[in-house]
Amino acid sequence: MAQDFRTSEGGLIDRSRPINFEFDGKSYQGYEGDTLASALLANGVHLMGRSFKYHRPRGILTAGSEEPNAIVELRTGARKEPNTRATTIELFDGLVAKSQNRWPSLSFDVMAINNLFSPLLSAGFYYKTFMWPVSFWTNVYEHVIRRAAGLGTASTEADPDHYEQCHEHCDVLVVGAGPAGLTAAVAAAERGARVIIADEHVQLGGSLNSEKLTVSGKPGADWAAEQTQKLVAMDNVHILNRTTVFGYYDHNVLAAIEKVSDHVAIPAAGKPRQRMWTLYPKQVVIASGATERPLIFGNNDKPGVMLASAARTYANQFGVKPGSRAIVATNNNDAYRTAIDLHNTGVRVVAVVDSRMNPDAPLAAELETLSIELITGKTVGAAEGGQHVRYAQLVSTQGITEEPQRIDCDLIAVSSGWNPNVHLHSQSGAKPVYDDEVFSFIPGQSRQVEVSVGAAKGSFGLQDCLNQGLAAGNEAAKLTGFKGRAKKAPKAGDDGIYSIEALWIAPTPYNKTYKQFVDQQHDTKASDVNLAAQEGYDSVELLKRYTTQGMGTDQGKTSNVNTLAILAGQRGDPIPDVGITTFRPPYVPVAMGVFAGHTVGYDFMPVRRTAIHDWNEKQGAVFIEAGLWLRARYYPQSAGESMYDCYVRETNNTRNNVAMVDVTTLGKIDIQGPDASEFLNRLYTNNWLKLPIGKARYGVMLREDGMVFDDGTTSRLGENHYFMTTTTANAAPVLSHMEYYHQTVWPELDVAFCSVTEQWTGIAVAGPNSRKLLEKVIDIDISNEAFPFMAVGECKMNNIPARLFRISFSGELAYELNVPADYGEQAWIELMEAGKEMGVTPYGTEPLGTMRIEKGHVAGSELDGRTTALDLGLEGMSNRDKHFIGKHNSQRPALLSDGRLQVVGLKSLEPGRNLRIGAHLVDDKVKLDSVSQSQGHVSATTYSPSLGYGIALGLLKDGASRHGEQIDAVFPLDNEKLRVEVCHPVFIDPKGELVRA
Amino acid sequence: MLRIECPWCGIRNEDEFSYGGDASVQRPSDDASEDEWYDYVYTRNNPAGDHTEHWQHVNGCRAWITVVRNTVTHQISSTAPASPHLPIGLKSVNKSKGAK
* Per-residue model confidence as pLDDT tens digits over A610-633: 999 999 999 999 999 999 999 999
Q: For residues A74 and A97, what is the distance between their CA atoms, to the nearest angstrom?
A: 5
**Are the CB atoms for A720 and A749 separated by under 8 Å?**
no
Chain A residues closer than 8 Å to B84 by CB:
744-747
Kindly indicate the confidence band of residue B97, based on its pLDDT and cuts at 50, 70 and 90: very low
* Residue A22 clears pLDDT 80, i.e. is over it: yes
Model pLDDT for residues A637-661, shown as the tens digit of each residue: 998 899 999 999 999 999 999 999 9
Helix (H, G, I), strand (E, B) or coil at A194: coil
Flag whether pLDDT at B86 surpasses 60. Answer: no
- The count of other CB atoms within 10 Å of the CB of residue A376 is 15
Question: Taking a C-beta distance cutoff of 8 angstroms, is the pair A630, A613 a contact?
Answer: yes
* DSSP-assigned states of every residue in A284-351: EEE---EEEPPP--BTTTSTTEEEHHHHHHHHHHH-B-S-SEEEEEESBSTTHHHHHHHHHHT-EEEE
The predicted-structure confidence for A246-261, as pLDDT tens digits, reads as follows 999 999 999 999 999 9
Nearest to A429 among B30, B73, B76 (CB): B73
pLDDT single digits (tens) A926-940 = 665 555 578 999 999
Q: Using the predicted structure, report yes or no on whether residue A36 has a pLDDT greater than 60.
A: yes
Residue A479 is classified by DSSP as: H
The mean pLDDT value for A403-431 works out to 97
The C-alpha atoms of residue A769 and residue A656 are separated, in whole angstroms, by 8
Taking CA atoms, B52 is separated from A251, A526, A957, B22, in Å, by: 18, 49, 41, 6
| Displacement of CA B21 from its chain's centroid (Å) | 6
How far apart are the C-alpha atoms of A367 and A943, rounded to whole Å?
A: 92
Per-residue pLDDT, B95: 38
Alpha carbon distance A561, A291 (integer Å): 11
Cross-chain residue pair A253–B41, CB shorter than 8 Å = no
Would you say A91 and A30 are in contact if contact means Cβ atoms under 8 Å apart?
yes
At A180 the three-state DSSP class reads helix
Report which secondary-structure segment, H or E, holds A452: strand A450-452
Q: What is the mean pLDDT of residues A735-760?
A: 95
pLDDT at A55: 86
- Are A490 and A466 in contact by the 8 Å Cβ rule? The answer is yes
What digits encode the pLDDT tens for the residues A187-220? 999 999 999 999 999 999 999 999 999 999 999 9
CB A953 within 8 A of CB A985: yes
Cβ distance of A740 and B54 shorter than 8 Å: yes
Helix (H) or strand (E) holding B90: helix B90-98
CB nearest to B41's CB, from A252, A747, A889: A889
Inspect the interface and report whether the beta carbons of A743 and B64 lie closer than 8 Å: yes
Instruction: For residue A516, report the phi and psi dihedrals to the nearest 5 degrees.
Output: -115, 105
Rounded Cα distance between A843 and A363, Å, is: 89
User: Residue A507: exposed, middle, or buried by beta-carbon count in 10 A (0-12, 13-18, 19+)?
Assistant: buried
Whether A889 sits inside 8 A of B83 (CB atoms) is no
Q: What is the pLDDT of residue B17?
A: 98
What are the tens digits of pLDDT across the range A819-874? 999 999 999 999 999 999 999 999 999 999 999 999 999 999 999 999 999 999 99
ipTM: 0.88
pLDDT in tens, A69-86: 999 999 999 999 999 999
Roughly how many angstroms between the first and final C-alpha of chain B, as a whole number?
26
Question: Would you state the pLDDT for residue A581?
Answer: 86
**DSSP letters of A603-616?**
GGS--B--TTHHHH
Give the highest mean pLDDT range of A67-81, A283-297, A532-546, B30-44. Answer: A283-297
CA distance A626 to A845: 10
Interface residues from chain B to A (CB-CB < 8 Å): 1-3, 18, 20, 23, 27-28, 30, 32, 34, 37-38, 40-42, 54, 56, 58, 62-64, 73-74, 76, 81-84
Of B1, B32, B84, the CB nearest to A744: B84
According to the model, what pLDDT value does residue B89 have? 38
Q: What is the pLDDT of residue B88?
A: 39
* ω into B87 cis (within 30 of 0): no
Please, are residues A288 and A421 in contact by the beta-carbon 8 Å criterion?
Answer: yes
Percent of chain A at pLDDT exceeding 70 = 95
Answer yes or no: are the C-beta atoms of A328 and A338 closer than 8 Å: yes
Average pLDDT, chain B: 85
Partner residue opposite A736 with nearest CB, options B28, B56, B84: B56
* Bond prior to A972 in cis (omega within 30° of 0): no
The winner for highest mean pLDDT among A276-290, A524-538, A916-930 is A276-290
Whether pLDDT at A58 is above 90:
yes
Residue A38 CA neighbour count, 13 Å, CB half: 31
SS3 of residue A627 by DSSP: coil
Does the pLDDT of residue A105 top 80, yes or no? no
**Mean pLDDT of the residues in chain A:** 94
Tally the residues of chain B: 100
Average pLDDT for A417-431: 97
Identify the bridge partners of residue A949 per DSSP, sorted by sequence position. A944
Long-range contacts of A728-734, Cβ-Cβ distance < 8 Å, separation of 24 or more: A728/A626, A728/A627, A728/A629, A728/A631, A728/A665, A728/A666, A728/A667, A729/A626, A729/A627, A729/A860, A730/A667, A731/A665, A731/A666, A731/A667, A731/A668, A731/A755, A731/A757, A732/A667, A733/A709, A734/A667, A734/A669, A734/A701, A734/A709, A734/A710
- Confidence at residue A384, expressed as pLDDT on a 0 to 100 scale: 97
Q: What is the pLDDT of residue A499?
A: 95
Longest Cα–Cα distance in chain A: 115
CB contact under 8 A, A250 and B74: yes
Residues 6+ apart with CB under 8 A from B37: A888, A889, B28
The predicted model gives B17-45 an average pLDDT of: 94
Q: Is the pLDDT of residue A553 over 90?
A: no
Binary contact (A250, B2; C-beta < 8 A): yes
Smallest Cβ–Cβ distance between B30 and the set A250, A447, A883 belongs to A883
Residues in chain A closer than 8 A to B37 (CB atoms)? 888-889
For the segment A805-825, the average pLDDT, to the nearest whole number, is 97
For chains A and B, count residue pairs whose Cβ atoms are closer than 8 Å: 58
Q: What is the pLDDT of residue B94?
A: 38
Identity of the amino acid at A537? Y
Predicted confidence at residue A192, as pLDDT, reads: 97
Residues 6+ apart with CB under 8 A from A803: A717, A723, A760, A792, A793, A794, A795, A817, A818, A819
Q: Average of pLDDT values for A90-112?
A: 82
- What is the reported pLDDT for A132? 61
What value does the mean pLDDT take over residues B31-54?
Answer: 95
Under 8 Å between Cβ of A828 and A821: no
Phi-psi region of B49 (alpha: psi -120 to 50; beta: other; left: phi over 0): left
Does residue B18 contact residue B54 with C-beta atoms inside 8 Å? no
The minimum CA-CA distance between B96 and chain A, rounded to whole Å, is 23
Tell which residue, A801, A820, A780, A769, has the closest CA to residue A694: A780
* Cβ neighbours of B41 (radius 10 Å): 18
The answer to whether residues A46 and A302 touch, using CB atoms and an 8 Å cutoff, is no
The sign one gets for the Cα dihedral A556, A560, A566, A572 is positive
Inform me whether the pLDDT recorded for A783 exceeds 70.
yes
DSSP string, A745-788: I-TTS--EEEE-TTTEEEEEEESTTHHHHHHTTBSS--STTTS-
The predicted structure's pLDDT at residue A117: 67
Burial of A368 (0-12, 13-18, 19+ CB in 10 A): exposed
Q: Do B84 and A745 touch (CB under 8 A)?
A: yes
As a whole number, mean pLDDT of residues A752-772 equals 97
The Cα A124–Cα A128 span in angstroms is 7
The answer to whether A704 contacts B41, with C-beta atoms less than 8 Å apart, is: yes
Task: Specify whether the CB–CB gap between A957 and A974 falls below 8 A.
Answer: no
Determine contact, residues A844/A632, Cβ cutoff 8 Å: yes
B84/A747 touch (CB, cutoff 8 Å), yes or no? yes
Question: Among B28, B38, B64, whose Cβ lies nearest the Cβ of A744?
Answer: B64
pLDDT at A532 > cutoff 60: yes
In one letter, which amino acid is A595? F
Q: Which residues in chain A are contacts of B30 at CB distance < 8 A?
A: 883, 887
User: Which of the four pLDDT bands, split at 50, 70 and 90, describes residue A120?
Assistant: low
Q: How confident is the model at residue A242 (pLDDT cuts 50, 70, 90)?
A: very high
Question: What is chain B's percent helix, strand, coil content, to nearest 5?
Answer: 20, 35, 45
In tens, the pLDDT along A575-616 reads 999 988 889 999 999 999 999 999 998 899 999 999 999 999
Phi and psi for A504 in degrees, rounded to 5? -90, -30
User: Under an 8 A CB cutoff, do A888 and B84 touch?
Assistant: no
Under an 8 A CB cutoff, do A250 and B38 touch? no
**Looking at the DSSP assignment, which residues form a beta bridge with residue A594?**
none
Whether residues A892 and B38 touch (CB distance < 8 A) is answered with yes
Whole-angstrom Cα distance, residue A756 to residue A752?
A: 13
Burial label for A592, CB within 10 Å (0-12, 13-18, 19+), is: exposed
The per-residue pLDDT for range A924-976, each reduced to its tens digit, is 776 655 555 789 999 999 999 999 999 999 999 999 999 999 999 999 889 99
- With contact defined as beta carbons under 8 Å apart, do A840 and A658 qualify? yes
Give the sheet arrangement for strand B18-22, strand by strand.
Answer: B18-22, B50-56, B64-70, B76-81
